[in-house]
Structure 1
Amino acid sequence: MRKRLRRRQGGGLVDEPDYALVGVVRIPESEKSPARAIGRRVLWALAALFVCSVIVYLDRDGYIDAKEGEMSYIDALYYTSVTLSTTGYGDITPITESARLINIIFITPLRVLFLIVLIGTTLEVLTERSRQAMKIQNWRNRVRNHTIVIGYGTKGRTAVDAVIADGGKPAEIVIVDKDQAALDVANAHGLVTVRGDATKSDVLRLAGVQHAAAIVVAANRDDTAVLATLTAREINGHAKIVASINESENTHLMRQSGANSVVVSSETAGRLLGIATITPSVVEVVEDLLSPEEGYAIAEREVEPSETGGSPAHTKDLVLGVVRAGKLYRVGDEEVEEIEAGDRLLYVRQGGPA
């Protein structure tokens, strides 16, 4: 019975060969200039032409020229050109050096260009799947301590922007979503994407959830958010999971599912709307604090040795709270009247990169 259960739990996308994951997992492509790519191919072709012509010329005594006479380097270059381009002449054969030079300067480059466009493009299409499979394999082998964002709607995109604004790298962020259009947008911004249902363990494993440092659950539905959180926590018991829900009544479900922090988007927006009707300047300050690119931002840092033993109110920064043993205390609480070594300070800093 246990063996059958293990077989049922195994399998899925995570056990598929890498070539079968092409289209499911997408690694961002670095932008390349088409002119530069073609130019590189032309240089390789010219280099091959030159090397081969030198070899032929050094062994010129082993060749017979139909026009007779000693074989010159131009003859060797001509022979190399028509050989590498798989061109053969029958009843019409250029026998003068000038005619052969024209073939070298004009005809052969055009022929090479044709081969680049035809054969090069065909080979690129044929090898694209293998190249993508190799990139997926390399990514799966090295992805560690990354951030997974489940859902790339408005909340997911805003969360990604905040992570990047705080110093996160796009290459270390993985998007999981079922909407291909949303994944296309994410991939265009340099993010790794995985297409699939985030409530399924094989999809999350494919995104590397077992090695993730943080997981952001930004699903549109609360039930989806609960299941995705529960599945992610079952696979990774140490990652920080931050989830967004629409209704506050589901907060306890998110907590029980393993979320470290829960944001109730509807109530938060409602509070800001209510405050804006009375004191709109307060909303501007809150928005400023939530926008790390400019103005002020809320950040967290380690305690400096000179601050140990002192009061949070007497530090060089405006401290809002103290994190001790994973628990947040507000400034003024008796437990944090004195700063201890190992504490972390929640403070207001100048906006911009941390």
Structure 2
Amino acid sequence: MKKVPLWARLLACLLLIILLSVFGIKYLEGYSFLDALWFTVVSLTAVGYGDIVPVTPAGKIFTMIFTLFGIGFVLYVLGTGFAVIVEGRLSEVLGRQSMQRKISKLDNHIIICGAGRVGREVIERFQHDKIPFVVIENDESVVREMREQGILVLEGDATADSTLIEAGIHRARGLIATLPSDADNVFITLTCKELNPGIKVAARASREDSESKLMRAGADKVIAPEAIGGRRLAISILKPATVEFVDTILHDHRTEIEIEEIVVLSESPLVNKSIRESRILDKTGTLIIAIKREDEFIGVPRADEEIRANDLLIAIGTGEQLTKLEAYAGGNAVKEV
């Protein structure tokens, strides 16, 4: 059961005291409802105009009792209400200033525009991988919730230059536009590329015809969640075990298996060797599932495929195994596992 806020309980008690006083003095003195209400208000606020006064002994006793308790309670309600307002405003201001200081210290981070269903998936993944990021969201309740969770978030319009600058667009290495409106994502992409031409932008597209517009606007990658979801639904019926395995790798943070991208440096012993000659599987325990070479993708490379400098290896393995491969690709010798 949801707890009733303090201000609501105090207000209910105050109204109850007023109503009891109104009906009590009305009954004892025979006043009209309006006169009884007037007498109650001026008495509880300690104004006391004296135009209406009780004349019966019962009315006088009743007035003394409810005035003593009523005025004290009114002062308590007003004081508590004022404290809640001041503390709330002060907490909000201090919280925002603290958030801005933390964001100003971010460097090489990623900006997430929108904290809807798609944005929250991105946030969860970045939290798990400990990737520095800041969120831009215009829903006040969502912003409040995320701040309580310790997430760096700015309340504002992600399409505005000032908001992106405040989020550190000039220092960021990437931006993800997840807003439900394709037009907003196009505008964010254009603004982002204007402020930081070298930044990587991944954008969400709801409509098929929006993908080309986002690419023309400067997006490096465009994702259509609905299209991907449809294809996965189909595969989940045709190849359920495959989908379960992929879901385990991508979404189950408890599993040790991960997919990683690793760049082969020129000083690496892997350079100019075939996958068979490099003995990557024997030395690191990882499996190379693809190689990206400039604009070319080599999917499921053959054992005699030669590894070159600056190749991007896409490998699967445990965190420890992938760390070994990263060291191997970076130029360090690695013993067999």
TM range (shorter): 0.5 to 0.7
The one-letter code of the counterpart of 2:195 is: I
**Change over 3 Å in CA distance of 1:277–1:303 after alignment to 2:** same
Q: Could you tell me which residue of structure 2 aligns to residue 338 of structure 1?
A: 306
8 Å Cα contact 2:205/2:211 also seen in 1:
yes
Contact in 1 for aligned 2:291/2:299 (Cα 8 Å): yes
Q: Any residues of structure 2 matched to 1:226-245 within 5 Å, and which?
A: 226-245=186-205
Q: How far apart are the structure 2 equivalents of 1:270 and 1:147?
A: 28
Q: In the alignment, is the contact (CA less than 8 A) between 1:216 and 1:243 conserved in 2? A: yes
Which residue is 1:218 aligned to? 178
Deviation at 1:333, TM superposition (A): 7.0
Write the letter of the residue equivalent to 1:165.
H
Structure 2 Cα separation of the partners of residues 269 and 126 of structure 1: 43
Q: Is 2:290 the counterpart of 1:329? A: no
Select the residue among 88, 100, 118 that pairs with 1:155: 118
Distance in 2 (CA, whole Å) between partners of 1:182 and 1:125 is 17
Letter in 1 for 2:138: K
Residue type at the aligned position of 2:230? G
Q: Specify the code of the residue in structure 2 equivalent to 1:145.
A: N
Q: CA deviation at 1:267?
A: 0.7
SS of residue in 1 equivalent to 2:289:
strand
Measured after TM superposition, the shift of residue 175 of structure 1 is: 0.9
The match for 1:181 is 141
Deviation beyond 6 Å, 4+ runs, structure 1? 121-127, 351-354
Aligned residues: CA RMSD: 3.1
TM-score using structure 2 length = 0.60
Q: Is the 8 A contact 2:203 2:221 kept in 1?
A: yes
CA-to-aligned-CA distance 1:205-247 (integer Å, 9 cap, x gap) = 1211121111111111212211111111111111221112122
Q: Secondary structure at the match of 2:273?
A: coil
CA distance in structure 2 between the aligned counterparts of 1:131 and 1:222, rounded to whole angstroms: 35
Q: 2:258 aligns with which of 297, 319, 324?
A: 297
Contact 2:288–2:300 (Cα < 8 Å) also in 1: no
Equivalent-residue separation in structure 1 for 2:209 and 2:216 (angstroms): 13
Deviations 1:264-314 (A, max 9, x none): 111100001111122211211221232261333321123372322223465
Gaps in structure 1 of 5+ consecutive residues:
1-117
1:146 correspondence with 2:89? no
| Partner residue in 1 for 2:25 | none
CA distance in structure 2 between the partners assigned to 1:130 and 1:183 by the alignment? 14
Written as runs of structure 1 = structure 2, the 5 A alignment for 1:1-354 is 131-132=94-95, 135=98, 138-139=101-102, 141-168=104-131, 172-291=132-251, 293-295=253-255, 296-303=257-264, 305-312=268-275, 315-316=280-281, 317-325=286-294, 327=295, 329-331=297-299, 337-350=305-318
Are residues 185 and 130 of structure 1, via their aligned partners in 2, closer, same or farther at CA, if it must alter by over 3 Å? closer
The 2-side partners of 1:251 and 1:220 are apart by 14
Q: Which moved more, 1:217-226 or 1:286-295?
A: 286-295
| Residue segments in structure 2 that go unaligned for 5+ positions in a row | 1-79, 324-337
Number of equivalences: 230
DSSP 3-state at the match of 2:219? coil
The answer as to whether partners of 1:311 and 1:337 remain within 8 angstroms in 2 is yes
Structure-1-length-normalised TM-score: 0.57
Q: 2 CA distance for matches of 1:312 and 1:248?
A: 39
**What is the one-letter code of the residue matched to 1:323?**
K
CA change 1:139–1:261 in 2 (3 A) is: same
- Higher RCO structure (Cα 8 Å, ≥6 apart): 1
**Any idea what the Cα deviations from partners look like across 1:148-173, whole Å, max 9, x if unmatched?**
110001110100111122232xxx32
Distance in 1 of aligned mates of 2:178 and 2:92: 31
* Structure 1 residues 4-25: Cα deviation after superposition (integer angstroms, max 9, x where no partner): xxxxxxxxxxxxxxxxxxxxxx
Deviation at 1:126, TM superposition (A): 8.6
Structure 1 residues 248 and 276, CA gap change in structure 2 (3 angstroms): same
Note the C-alpha offset of 1:140: 5.3
Classify 1:195/1:165 alpha carbon distance in 2 versus 1 (closer, same or farther; 3 Å): same
The answer to whether the 8 Å contact 2:288/2:301 transfers is no
Amino acid at match of 2:124: D
Identity of aligned residues (%): 24
Contact 2:104 2:168 (C-alpha < 8 Å) held by counterparts: no
- How far does the alpha carbon of each residue in 1:47-78 deviate from its partner, in whole angstroms, 9 at most, with x for none? xxxxxxxxxxxxxxxxxxxxxxxxxxxxxxxx
